[in-house]
Amino acid sequence: MNNTVKRFNLIIIGAGASGMVSAIVSARMGNSVLLLEKLPKIGAKLKASGGGRCNLTNTLPNDEFMSRFGKNGRFMTPALDRLDHRGLISFLADIGVECHAPDGYRVFPTTHDSSTIIDAMVQEMKSLGVEILNNQKVESIISDGTKAIGVDTTIDRFEADNIIVASGGLGYPTLGSTGDGYNIAKSIGHNISKLYPAMMPLSTKDEWVSRCRADTIAKVTMRVDIKKYKKMTAIGDLIFTKNGIRGPVVLDFSREITPLLDKFGEVPISINLTKGMNEEQIRRHFKDKLSQNPHINTIQLLETLLPNPISLVLCELSNTEPNISINKQSGEARDKLISLLVWTPLIIDGHDGFSKAMITRGGISLKEIDPYTMQSKVLKGVYFAGEVIDIDGPCGGYNLQWAFASGYLAGLSLDTV
Ligand SMILES: Cc1cc2nc3c(=O)[nH]c(=O)nc-3n(C[C@H](O)[C@H](O)[C@H](O)COP(=O)(O)OP(=O)(O)OC[C@H]3O[C@@H](n4cnc5c(N)ncnc54)[C@H](O)[C@@H]3O)c2cc1C
């Protein structure tokens, strides 16, 4: 440990999306800022986000945006009042990053390269005099009993009256966030809600899934088939894998499923693979196709809706003979086939844990954070930002918008200079 302890107005733990925005905002107000990052490089997760393209926010109005986060969403109101998607786009434009929404919804940097954002932020932090130290893993916050006074890293001690914990969650630990923030928060008296991996592929019990490997089905609806949780649904593209399912709808749905897996061990779900068609629409579709071609057999008929491998599986599951006309199947088999086209059952039985989880569900209890400042209600001078807090959203720029907005509010809230 160095003998001379350096002193700052603000120390930020973690140079991810939230930490970098906090650093910029606070330094612009004239604060001396130290940004501590345990990895040799900063912004590792931001760099990987959106497959390197960085879907940084979306264009939903704030109320709708918050509703997608579930019951904790309203907590974000003051942060979004300060920096919603419009504010974020203009914040980035100010540091030289142009953004656009090619589909009118998801927002990316026009370069479609997350490095553009990281480079611009680093440039801005340097010009504002933010001190950035890599390979500095913060181990604890030091307090004088009433307020924070600094941090200890594995090699140094630094002093400040304000500390922002922006150290991320538990997902994708190779990108830096390994849950240190939860331990740090716990050590100063905070409660952490149960943590679950979220936004990741899911494995299924059904062996037929492997035969449909790589089949991609658009606009799939998924629902949970447990009585109390029937309202849980999601819509989007689905891809079958060697032992389960992935794709945008699965990423979204997994944040609902992992707590249920924890509770029940297995989770029965149903998927509609026919773009939301109901029984009547399917029967009409079959009738139309048969009137166009009376010789069409069952598998050819199914292939007007789905790829061949899944069509074959549905024949097998319904005991229909693929190579004869649908009208020659028994009534029972035909009805079963149609019901499977409306809802195909699957049993989710696992996942790869935090190593493949893009986000963490759960985190530092919202009751213990002031949403107007992001300051801890437990220890004065400590603030929180980003994924470490008990807030998680679906796919589509929600989580980065939250990280940026909460980082912005925390950085703005320090009353130091
Ligand atoms: C592969 C992938 C793709 C994603 N794509 C998207 C997307 O397109 N859109 C979207 O909205 N969200 C996406 N997400 C989620 C999003 O990236 C995160 O929610 C967001 O980056 C969280 O920001 P954060 O600042 O809270 O934490 P992080 O970005 O995780 O930053 C935390 C930082 O703190 C550092 N740190 C941790 N502990 C310590 C310590 N003890 N001392 C010092 N430093 C420490 C870490 O190394 C890390 O750099 C994606 C996530 C992943 C993994």
Tell me the three state secondary structure of residue 294.
coil
CB distance 171 to ligand 1 below 6 Å? yes
Atom of ligand 1 nearest to the CA of 387: 26
Residue 417: is its pLDDT beyond 70?
no
Q: Does ligand 1 have an atom closer than 6 angstroms to the CB of 387?
A: yes
| Range 402-416 average pLDDT | 92
Residue nearest to atom 53 of ligand 1 (CA): 358
Torsion of CA 34, 39, 45, 48, to 10 degrees: 130
Given pLDDT bands bounded at 50, 70 and 90, which one contains residue 231?
A: confident
CA 393 to ligand 1 center in whole angstroms: 14
Nearest residue CA, atom 8 of ligand 1? 50
Q: For residue 416, what pLDDT is reported?
A: 57
pLDDT for res 319:
97
392 CB near ligand 1 (under 6 Å): no
Could you tell me if the CB of 50 is within 6 A of ligand 1?
yes
Rounded to two decimals, the pTM is 0.94
Segment 14-21 shows an average pLDDT of: 98
Atom of ligand 1 nearest to the CA of 400: 11
pLDDT, position 188: 97
Distance, CA 173 to ligand 1 centroid (Å)?
9
- Indicate whether residue 403 lines ligand 1 (CB < 6 A): yes
CA 178 / ligand 1 centre spacing (Å): 10
374 CA from centroid of ligand 1 (Å): 18
Contact 389 CB / ligand 1 (< 6 Å): no
Residue written as token pair 């998924």: 222
**Is the CB of residue 363 below 6 angstroms from any atom belonging to ligand 1?**
no
* Whole-number Cα distances in Å, 136 to 5, 8, 40, 49, 133: 15, 16, 9, 23, 6
Give the pLDDT confidence score for residue 230 in this predicted structure.
85
* AA identity, residue 249: V
- Mapped onto helix, strand or coil, the DSSP state of residue 192 is strand
Task: Please give the pLDDT value at position 2.
Answer: 52
Atom index in ligand 1 nearest the CA of residue 184 equals: 41
Q: Is the CB of 192 under 6 A from ligand 1?
A: no
- Backbone φ, ψ for residue 334 (5° rounding): -65, -45
Q: What is the mean pLDDT of residues 95-119?
A: 97
Percent of residues in the chain assigned helix, strand, coil, to nearest 5? 40, 25, 35
- Contact in structure between 357 and 48 (CB atoms under 8 Å): no
pLDDT surpassing 90 at residue 386: yes
Pocket perturbation via mutation, ligand 1, pick of 122, 155, 156, 167 by most ligand atoms within 8 A of CB: 167
Confidence of residue 168 (pLDDT cuts 50, 70, 90): very high
The pairing of beta strand 216-224 with beta strand 33-36:
unpaired
Look at residue 288 and give its three-state secondary structure: helix
Q: Is the CB of 150 under 6 A from ligand 1?
A: no
400 lines ligand 1 (CB under 6 A): yes
Q: Which ligand 1 atom is at minimum distance from the Cα of 167?
A: 34
Q: Over 90: is that where the pLDDT of 78 sits?
A: yes
- Give the C-alpha separation, 276 to 260, whole Å: 24
List, for residues 96-106, the tens digit of each pLDDT value: 999 999 999 99
Q: Which atom of ligand 1 is nearest to the CA of 54?
A: 8
Q: What is the mean pLDDT of residues 81-88?
A: 98
Amino acid identity at 6: K
Q: Ligand 1 centre from 177 Cα, in Å?
A: 7
Residue 1's pLDDT is: 52
Which ligand 1 atom is the nearest neighbour of the CA of 172?
Answer: 53
Pocket test for ligand 1, best of 24, 38, 45 (most atoms within 8 A of CB): 45
List the alpha helices (DSSP H) in 8-137: 17-28, 44-48, 62-67, 77-82, 85-94, 114-127
**How distant, in Å, are the alpha carbons of 64, 237, 412 from that of 59?**
10, 20, 24
- For residue 232, pLDDT over 90 is answered with no
Highest-confidence range of 84-88, 211-215, 225-229, 249-253, by mean pLDDT? 84-88
* CA 225, chain centre distance (Å): 23
Mean pLDDT within 139-163: 97
Residues 6+ apart with CB under 8 A from 346: 204, 205, 206, 209, 245, 268, 269, 270, 271
361-377 average pLDDT score: 98
Q: Under DSSP, is residue 96 helix (H, G, I), strand (E, B) or coil? A: coil
CA 187 – CA 73 distance, rounded (Å) = 26
**pLDDT tens, position by position, 28-47:** 999 999 999 999 999 999 99
pLDDT of residue 215: 82
Report CA(45)–ligand 1 centroid distance (Å): 4
Pick the CATH number of 6-196+360-413 from 3.90.180.10, 3.30.56.10, 3.20.20.20, 3.50.50.60: 3.50.50.60
Q: Are 325 and 352 in contact (CB under 8 A)?
A: no
- What is the band of 186 on the pLDDT scale with cuts at 50, 70, 90? very high
142 backbone φψ class: left, alpha, beta (φ>0; ψ -120 to 50): beta
Say if CB 269 and CB 223 are below 8 A apart. Answer: yes
Does the Cβ of 166 fall within 6 Å of ligand 1?
yes
In total, the chain counts a number of residues equal to 417
> What are the angstrom distances between the C-alpha of 380 and each of 11, 30, 205, 230, 372?
14, 21, 49, 43, 14
Q: 215 alpha carbon to ligand 1 midpoint, in Å?
A: 30
How is the chain split into domains, by residue range? 6-196+360-413, 201-351
Average confidence (pLDDT) over 273-283: 97
Whether 251 is in the pocket of ligand 1, judged by its Cβ within 6 Å, is: no
For tokens 């760099």, what's the residue? 47
**Among the listed residues 273, 281, 126, 279, the one whose alpha carbon sits nearest the alpha carbon of residue 212:** 273
Give percent of the chain above pLDDT 70: 99
Residue identifier of the C-alpha nearest atom 29 of ligand 1: 16
pLDDT at 46: 97
